[in-house]
Every structure is written in structure tokens, then in C-alpha cells.
A and B are shown apart, each in its own frame.
Chain A
């Protein structure tokens, strides 16, 4: 297993509510990427955080936002939840150093259900 952890494991919300998901990166890693995986599909890139700054974003609306903290852990916030936001949310941590290509290791995910 990787050293990447996520909380909570499961969450049920209603439309219009807001949610915060958390990710602790693997020791020694400085970058966190967030992905949304709908049932039966591949993960879709939401955004990446490096040195506490957003470093790339996929095709997700601004109501998806994030933070990275000095210890490299990260949060994903989703406002005004919609039914289609129901999915498995995965974070992946990696070490970016010297411009090299980094391997991403996934956490166990948070399964979000929006009713």
C-alpha cells in the first residue's frame, strides 16, 4: 500500500451543499493531484498542487477548489454540489524535483454520493 491517506472514506450530501475532502501525501512527496472517478470510468484530472500553489487544472468549474498546506497535505472543496458530482475522489502524491517525470501514487479515495 502507498502512504497516501484520504478522509473521509464515504460521504453523503444533498444538492447545493458544500464538501471538503482531505488528503495526506506520502512522506517525502511535495505534490498532490486530485482526480474524479465516476462509476465505470477512468480518473479525470481536477487539479494539482505544488508548493501550496495550483499547478495545472482540468476541465472542472471554479466551484471545485483546493488548498495545499506547508506539510504538503491537501484539501479539495466542492461548492454547490450537483448530482453529477457523485463519484470516487482520488488524490495522488508525487515528488517533483529537478524537472524530472514523477510517479503518482494514489490514496484509497473518498466516495461521495450527492442526493
Chain B
């Protein structure tokens, strides 16, 4: 079955710096890769997603890149702000089920 690995597990950055979180997946049949942000005690919220026919997608300060050959995708957050602090999960859609990574705890210090 599909397996998604996510790195790093924790990431601390200064406000205004960029943050990058990387994920790899194992099954080339996976065709959709969303990123979710989860604040403490709250639901995962979709922040950006990318489909397998696209290599890059950007939404304001957030961008995602996908390398299908290498089976990895990355989340890039620029100009980080304290409110970006949360746990971020990558996921891969494989036969209708989302397989999640283990999460990255991002801390943005003012």
C-alpha cells in the first residue's frame, strides 16, 4: 500500500523567513496531494493541493511543488508569520483514500 514520509518533524523559523516541508510517497498511482494545517484542538484545514498533472501551484505565500519522477512533493511558505505556527500534514490520495504523513510542527518566532 501507499506510504507517505514527511520531514522534518519539527521546524523553527524566525518571522519573515521561509519554511519548507518535504514529503515522499511510494505508490506512483497516487494522483492528488493536499496539504493540511492543523492548529491545536482543531480540524485539519486544507491550505493547498496539487494534482499529478501539475508540477507547481502557488497561492499567495504558499506554494507546492511536485516531482512525479522522484515521487516527492514539498510545501513552501514564504514570509512566515506567527499565525503560521501549527502542525502541517501532507497526504497522498491513493484509490480514494488519503494517506497522511506524520506531520511537521512549525513554530514561527516573532
Q: Which B residues lie within 8 Å of A107 (CB)? A: 43
From A13-21, A38-46, A77-85, the one touching the partner chain is A38-46
Shortest Cβ gap from A43 to chain B (Å): 5
Per the 8 Å Cβ criterion, residues 15-59 of B in contact with A are 31-32, 34, 36, 42-46, 49, 51
A3 to B73 CA separation, bound complex (whole angstroms):
29
A92 to B99 CA separation, bound complex (whole angstroms):
13
Interface status of B83 (Cβ within 8 A of chain A): no
A107 to B91 CA separation, bound complex (whole angstroms):
17
Classify chain A's interface size.
20 to 34
Q: Which A residues lie within 8 Å of B96 (CB)? A: 33, 48, 50, 55-56, 96
- Contact between B43 and A109 (Cβ–Cβ < 8 Å)? yes
A107 to B34 CA separation, bound complex (whole angstroms):
16
Shortest Cβ gap from B46 to chain A (Å): 6
Specify the chain B residue showing the minimal Cβ separation from A2: B43
Q: Which B residues lie within 8 Å of A104 (CB)? A: 34, 46, 98
Q: Which of A42, A48, A58, A109 contacts B101 (CB 8 A)?
A: A42
- Contact between A41 and B103 (Cβ–Cβ < 8 Å)? yes
Interface status of B95 (Cβ within 8 A of chain A): yes
Interface status of A101 (Cβ within 8 A of chain B): yes
A57 to B101 CA separation, bound complex (whole angstroms):
18
Residues of B within 8 A of A (CB): 6, 31-32, 34, 36, 42-46, 49, 51, 89, 91, 93, 95-103
Q: Which 9 A-B pairs have the closest CB atoms?
A: A42-B100, A101-B32, A45-B97, A106-B43, A56-B96, A108-B43, A106-B44, A43-B100, A42-B89
